[in-house]
Amino acid sequence: MEISSLKSVRLIHFFLLTSFVVMFIWSAYKPYQLGTWFLEVTPIVLGTIIIIYTYNKFRLTTPVYLLLCLGAIIVLIGGHYTYGKVPLFNWLRDSFHLGRNYYDRFGHFVGGFVWALTLREILLRTSPFRKGKLLITIVLGLVLGVSALYELVEWCVALMLGGGAEAFLGLQGDIWDTHWDMSLALAGAIVCLLSLSSTHNRFLVNEIGIK
């Protein structure tokens, strides 16, 4: 990659990081429940530290960083209000007479989207897997695995906190909430691979040099 192009790419990445920091500061200011905010945001903070630490050693493509930033912002918003009380989705619930606030479902769909492209890139760059049906199958399986792992972590936290974990779990009275979360993560991954694979391939060539 040319030096001028590299500088432009780094500038975009710095803008994404700055956007995350601004949203993090907003999210941390008087959240609805501090304990729930801490539980929701901690994985995002740890992930950001890893991304910054590995940036020069294993720089990801811009679309992946963009999705990671978007996914992080969605978590920061959910952590600030708690997922069941995000104002816009409360308005949608009331305006369209929906049965619940669907922000958490939206978040899991986007999460599947984010993980799909991130895992696709990591596999293409570090494993023998090449573009094709097998790669798609592996990515979808891994996204489901990540989603299931998150649900298991939520379950463990709920066992430790008892009734105090209600806002963190965000069930909103739905006994099938866990199943919906994993299904929507899978749906998001499928939509991501169908819609962004070609674009991702171009960025892999232009920014990383992988054909």
How far, in Å, CA of 88 to CA of 90, rounded? 5
Count of CB atoms situated within 10 Å of the CB of 40: 24
Name the band, by pLDDT with cuts 50, 70 and 90, for residue 6: confident
For 28-79, the pLDDT digits (tens) are: 999 999 988 998 999 999 999 999 999 999 999 999 999 999 999 999 999 9
Is 114 within 8 Å of 70 (Cβ atoms)?
A: yes
- Percentage of residues in the chain with pLDDT exceeding 90? 76
Which tokens go with 202?
């171009």
Going from the C-alpha of 148 to that of each of 17, 89, 128, 151, the distances in angstroms are: 28, 25, 25, 5
Percent of residues in the chain assigned helix, strand, coil, to nearest 5: 80, 0, 20
Identify which of 206, 203, 209 has the alpha carbon closest to the alpha carbon of residue 62: 203
User: What is the C-alpha to C-alpha distance for residues 140 and 188, in angstroms, rounded to an integer?
Assistant: 10
Structural contact between residues 109 and 188, judged by C-beta atoms closer than 8 angstroms: yes
Domain that holds residue 169: 3-208
CA gap 192, 176 in Å, rounded: 24
Does the pLDDT at position 161 exceed 90? no
pLDDT given at position 113: 97
**Which pLDDT score is estimated for 151?**
86
| Total number of domains constituting the chain | 1
